[in-house]
Structure 1
Amino acid sequence: MQCLGAICGAGVVRGFEGGNEYKLLGGGANTVAHGYTKGSGLGAEIIGTFVLVYTVFSATDAKRSARDSHVPLLAPLPIGFAVFLVHLATIPITGTGINPARSLGAAIIYNKDHAWDDHWVFWVGPFIGAALAALYHQVVIRAIPFKNK
């Protein structure tokens, strides 16, 4: 459903933007920027996704919620800040994918060669980053014993 929503959203953007401006901006499709290798783009996507997913896990952890009853109310703040920081760091490198559905929607609607050249980076990177964040959270963070005050 996320992929379908991204395709529809990219279609709406294409409908509202003029033809020349849309083409000039590459239709919003993610690509690895000139001057960066596919490896550095992949690394940026892995690290960016790791930071975001780890922040989500940490901010919504049930163990932490039991200890700090105010945490569920404040969880959007660190998550939003993580999204902001990841965008600041990765926009110059990859345009910030960190969600394969968003990258897919723009690539399908724009559908030019360069939109597909590096597309694998925007699937592999987020999957690896999310898996590493989940593994780190379960194996390292959740393994720390819970202490009552």
Structure 2
Amino acid sequence: MEGKEEDVKLGANKFPERQPIGTAAQTDKDYKEPPPAPLFEPGELSSWSFYRAGIAEFVATFLFLYITILTVMGVAGSKTKCTTVGIQGIAWAFGGMIFALVYCTAGISGGHINPAVTFGLFLARKLSLTRAVFYIVMQCLGAICGAGVVKGFEGNPKYELLKGGANFVNPGYTKGDGLGAEILGTFILVYTVFSATDAKRNARDSHVPILAPLPIGFAVFLVHLATIPITGTGINPARSLGAAIIFNRDAAWDDMWIFWVGPFIGAALAAVYHQIIIRAIPFKSRA
């Protein structure tokens, strides 16, 4: 056991360029709280890495919408549910894609793929306002393009019949039910993001940055299992907006506020809970 401490130190420094969502991993043995990101960082606008990160968010959200909306429409369009992957398959498609895409893009943009995640990390001062706004714009554009490709594959009559995979509050549930489901679902997701990418944990356990996409994807899977019957599960404003814009019917817009307000409230609550209660950041000295 004599060399165990050295082995742990070596493991923690093995992947120095790996960046989990929202913040870089700490590799020092004595952990120090990273300083908050500036509200506005002019130097970002002249940096290629800034635009590369935005492109990564665009492509990731595009692929996310392409796979997940096609899966939703495949289930909805089948004559017998026994021949489809069903609700469980839809949940796996959303969770599995988040797992894969976070793994692919975490080292470039942080792998947000969701305006609510970006908003929560911004509130926690993990990224600047400039970057947060840029990410959200690119995520929404990627979602619109992904949903557009799905419409091209499905053809107009079938696409209209299946309602474009858009989010609605389902019959039998009130708008309050839908809002509550979106708040709680997004809270679970963003709380998992904070916990899985906690820089303090990354400093102590070298495997945490590598495994971070797994609990995040699994959280998305579980939330979908619970809330697909209520709202079809949004918890991602870009996903809801992209499908609604391409479908472009009144029914898709009636409940759109729920799929923005709910996730943003859930993300804010998760940020406050993790930063103030779990990590007690305001009560620690940054000296």
Instruction: Give the TM bin, normalised by the shorter chain.
Output: over 0.9
Matched residue, 2:158: 21
Deviates more, 1:40-49 or 1:72-81: 72-81
Return the match for 1:99 from 236, 245, 256: 236
Matched residue, 1:87: 224
Map 1:1-149 onto structure 2 (within 5 A). Answer: 1-143=138-280
Structure 2 counterpart SS, 1:32 = coil
How many pairs align?
Answer: 145
Matched residues in 2 for 1:98 and 1:132: separation? 14
Matched residues in 1 for 2:241 and 2:280: separation? 36
Matched residues in 2 for 1:129 and 1:101: separation? 15
Structure 1 counterpart SS, 2:280 = coil
Q: What percentage of aligned pairs have identical amino acids?
A: 84
Structure ranking higher in helix proportion: 1
Matched residues in 2 for 1:3 and 1:18: separation? 23
Structure 2 counterpart SS, 1:98 = coil
Flag as ranges the 4+ runs of structure 1 deviating above 4 A: none
Q: Larger relative contact order (C-alpha < 8 A, sep ≥ 6)? A: 1
1:20 positional shift? 3.0
Structure 2 counterpart SS, 1:31 = coil
Residue 238 of structure 2 aligns to which amino acid in structure 1? A
What TM-score, normalized to structure 2? 0.49
Give CA deviations for 1:46-95 in whole Å, capped at 9, x if unaligned: 01100000001100000111222211111111111101001101111111
1:143 positional shift? 1.6
1:18 positional shift? 2.7
- Structure number with bigger Rg: 2
1:31 positional shift? 0.5
What TM-score, normalized to structure 1? 0.93
Deviates more, 1:50-59 or 1:10-19: 10-19
Unaligned runs of 5+ in 2: 1-137
Structure 2 counterpart SS, 1:97 = coil
Two-structure CA RMSD over aligned residues (Å): 1.4
